[in-house]
Amino acid sequence: MPDANGGAQNEGAAEQWFAVMRSGAPSPAEVVAFQEWRAADPDHARAYDALEDAWARAGDHADHPEVQNMRRAARARRPKAVIGKRHILSLIALALLLGLVLSLLF
């Protein structure tokens, strides 16, 4: 039985591999590395399988009306994209620098 740290490491690695494998198009080298990682230790396979199972169970509820309502509410609370003070200051500095360069050239 792995210690708590080993279990956490396996879960973290499983999460990383899950993200890579679900990214749409893992490279052939990534697929081979994943297969080697999974085969290296039964705990690796168990951690990855548990993650896949949880993902599948969560997906079973994706169309439930309450889940849809929560998604809509989360989207409504998401802050709108705004230009921050830092961006405005950067644009002003860029404009001033551009003006200085143009004045030196002409």
- Within a domain: 67: no
- Within a domain: 78: no
- Within a domain: 65: no
Helix/strand/coil for 61: coil
- Within a domain: 23: yes
Maximum C-alpha span of the chain:
75
H helices within the chain, ranges in order?
A: 4-21, 28-40, 42-59, 65-77, 85-105
Encode the chain (106 residues) as per-residue pLDDT tens digits: 233 445 678 888 999 999 999 888 889 999 999 999 999 999 999 999 999 998 888 888 878 888 888 888 887 877 666 667 778 888 898 899 888 888 888 7
Task: Determine the structural domain holding residue 21 and report its residue range.
Answer: 4-60
Q: Which whole-number Å values give the CA distances from 24 to 21, 33, 41, in the listed order?
A: 7, 16, 25
- Within a domain: 42: yes
* 8 Å CB contact between 75 and 69: no
Residues 89, 71: Cα–Cα separation, whole Å: 35
Residues 106, 103: Cα–Cα separation, whole Å: 5
- Within a domain: 71: no
> Domain tally for the chain?
1
pTM over 0.85: no
- Within a domain: 76: no
